[in-house]
Amino acid sequence: MKSDSTYLGQVIRVDSNAVEVEVSAEIPSAAPIINGRLYKIGQIGTFVKMPMGNITIYAIVSAVSDRPFGTDDDGETRSSSKFLSIQLIGEKIGDGEFEKGIGTYPTIGDEVHLVIEKDLFEIYGEQDSGSIELGKHSSSENLSVHVDTHNLILRHCGIMGSTGSGKSNTTVTLLKSILGSYAGSRVILIDPHGEYASAFPEAKVLRIGDTQAPLYIPFWLMTFEELAFFLVGADQRDEQKMEYRQLRDLVTVMKKKNFNLKSGIVNQDLITADSPIPFSARDLWYEMNWLLNASFSTTLKDDQTKANACEISVGAPEKLSPAIFRPYAMGTSAPFKSKHTEYFSYEKKILSRLKDSRYDFLFNPGDYKTADSPKDLHNLLAEWIGNSQKLTILDLSGVPFEVLDITVGLITRFVYDSMFWGRKEAYTGKQRPLLLAFEEAHTYLGKNDKSSYSKTAVERVFKEGRKFGIGALVISQRPSEISETILSQIGTLIALRLTNSADKSIIKSSAPDNMNSLIDLLPSLRIGEAIVTGEAIKIPSRIRLKLNYPRPTSDDPKLVECWKKEHVHEEENYKLVVTKIREQKI
């Protein structure tokens, strides 16, 4: 009713997604006090409602304007009227729950009212067992904002925000809310900078190079296509080359020898070059080196086998020590030079990889190194997703940037494969869903990376993971650099302050609810404030998140405090720094 204290004005224009409202000139104040609370008329991002019988339509203010009616005889403005542009977001029928989407549009002359705190409580409702609290509504410190857990995780989600906007704190808030609400929750957080262990003291933390809880990622988890590209730089264009086919055959033979594994005996006839079965990369190099450098008692290539080799010393593959042969003669007498030249370029590339200490965690995976090692892949899955903690942090801070892509790709694909092939098992797959969280996603999920292990694996999770119980969370400060396939599959978006125009436009185009008026607020958000839109939230909202303690180690250095200290010349400190640069170890 027009006599209500919430009355704003009336509808004067309607189109498919926007409505224009003329604010009544009879409203006594631009900031009325209703039920003891001050409300500002025309605040961008605030809600209004339009009662139409037993239907109440809700909208959000996107623009405010003031237009003069005209001038008097002296040329002075007679009066003016304020106008609001609002975007329709949903409706509530009778005493039912609020629903996104519009079934009935307002008409010219319909009343428009302020949405007060009581209305917000009716929209958001009480928290149920299927939702978690994310933060408080920016319009009311008393109103908790909940998100639907199922849609949040299995429809995938993203946290986007500039450096210093509160992105890491938002991640901690979200994960703590999930872990605190569900005793059987299961989360893997991929942490490239090692920031989050301090915020989750109870989590299972696995680190590259750690002596107590090391993270191992065996290289033999790769498919043959991945392995060939990683070891020798070969791709699908090399499939017709003889050396490529022979490399595949050699890998297959080596894997078939190791069919009797800790996780169970594997049918040798089903083993291929893609099967995740242990074999030694050093043995692979040794075989190639042997064939290239051997001397034989015959010149016929087919007869140049180990039975006819002129071998003096067998060498030591583990030490990368090659076999030694009698020097071949230049004439027509034995021994003769090897005619196995197909591995000439491959052998040197593999040797270079094996000697690079940055790849030790792949080539020397501790208890997972060979088929005779004490652990197998079932132990690896138990460490990652079957341990006693609900959250496992895979700390990749010890991984050089050049290797980060393949590391994230292997982790993601192995977890995906475990959920895919275990989808009907009792305690994994669809029977116990999993959330995979990717911090600093823009560094390895770039849209311009044509041959990225990680992007291929993560895109598969975003496209197909829901069916097998895998949800994904991407966290990034540069959404404009992330794969478009991944952005298009994000069902719920938590956007913090973003000032870069390219990032803002990407968020605007990929926001699930297309709430441009809210997205336009991104540059003006306060630290720890976010716009939440998408499938997991009843209504797009501007919320505030609490500050978490203990915090991730992503906070800024105390610059002023550090610079106030007198400079001390300590050359010894830089010796340690240089050693770490050379060894690529923290």
- Distance separating alpha carbons of residues 151 and 148, to the nearest angstrom: 6
* Rg from Cα positions in the chain: 32
Instruction: Give 428-474 as a DSSP string.
Output: SGGGS-EEEEETTGGGTSBTT-TT-HHHHHHHHHHHHGGGGTEEEEE
CA 148: distance to chain centroid? 19
Contacts of 72 (CB under 8 A, 6+ apart): 78
Cβ contact 71:77 at 8 Å: yes
Nearest to 145 by CA among 131, 154, 133, 153: 133
For 471-502, the pLDDT digits (tens) are: 999 999 999 999 999 999 999 999 999 888 88
pLDDT value at residue 583: 61
Maximum C-alpha span of the chain: 120
Strands (E), 536-581: 541-544
Decide if pLDDT at 124 tops 90.
Answer: no
CA 382: distance to chain centroid? 22
Backbone phi and psi for residue 461, each to the nearest 5 degrees, phi listed first: -65, -45
Cβ contact 176:547 at 8 Å: no
144-203+389-551+558-564 homologous superfamily: P-loop containing nucleotide triphosphate hydrolases (3.40.50.300)
Question: Measuring CA to CA, how many Å separate 13 from each of 9, 10, 44, 85?
Answer: 12, 9, 19, 9
- Distance separating alpha carbons of residues 435 and 432, to the nearest angstrom: 10
Q: What is the mean pLDDT of residues 525-548?
A: 87
For 17-53, the pLDDT digits (tens) are: 789 999 888 776 666 777 667 777 778 878 899 999 8
Cβ contact 436:461 at 8 Å: yes
Decide if pLDDT at 72 tops 60.
Answer: no
Q: Which amino acid is at 98?
A: F
Return the percentage of the chain with pLDDT > 70, whole number.
91
Cβ contact 494:476 at 8 Å: no
Cβ contact 407:443 at 8 Å: no
- Distance separating alpha carbons of residues 187 and 181, to the nearest angstrom: 13
The encoded tokens of residue 504 equal: 């803002």
What is the residue extent of each domain of the chain? 7-124, 144-203+389-551+558-564, 224-355
Residues 581, 584, 585, 586, Cα dihedral to 10°: 50
Q: What is the mean pLDDT of residues 436-454?
A: 88
Contacts of 389 (CB under 8 A, 6+ apart): 202, 203, 204
Contacts of 272 (CB under 8 A, 6+ apart): 224, 252, 255
Whether the predicted model's global pTM rises above the 0.85 cut: no
Question: Measuring CA to CA, how many Å separate 425 from each of 270, 377, 439, 468?
Answer: 22, 17, 29, 11
The encoded tokens of residue 546 equal: 């609490």
Per the omega criterion (within 30 degrees of 0), is the bond before 317 cis?
A: no
DSSP SS3 for 518: helix
- Distance separating alpha carbons of residues 303 and 313, to the nearest angstrom: 20
Question: Measuring CA to CA, how many Å separate 230 from each of 14, 75, 353, 401?
Answer: 58, 78, 9, 15
For 225-281, the pLDDT digits (tens) are: 889 988 988 887 888 888 888 899 999 999 999 999 989 999 999 999 999 999 999
For 371-398, the pLDDT digits (tens) are: 888 999 999 999 998 888 999 999 998 8
Surface-to-core class of residue 154, CB atoms within 10 Å of its CB (0-12 exposed, 13-18 middle, 19+ buried):
buried
Q: Give the 3-state secondary structure of 256-306.
A: HCCCEECCEECCHHHCCCCCCCCCCHHHHHHHHHHHHHCEECCCCHHHCCH
The encoded tokens of residue 548 equal: 């978490």
The encoded tokens of residue 558 equal: 């105390």
Provide the 8-state DSSP code for 89. E
Cβ contact 359:353 at 8 Å: yes
Decide if pLDDT at 185 tops 70.
Answer: yes
Name the more confident of 578 and 245. Answer: 245
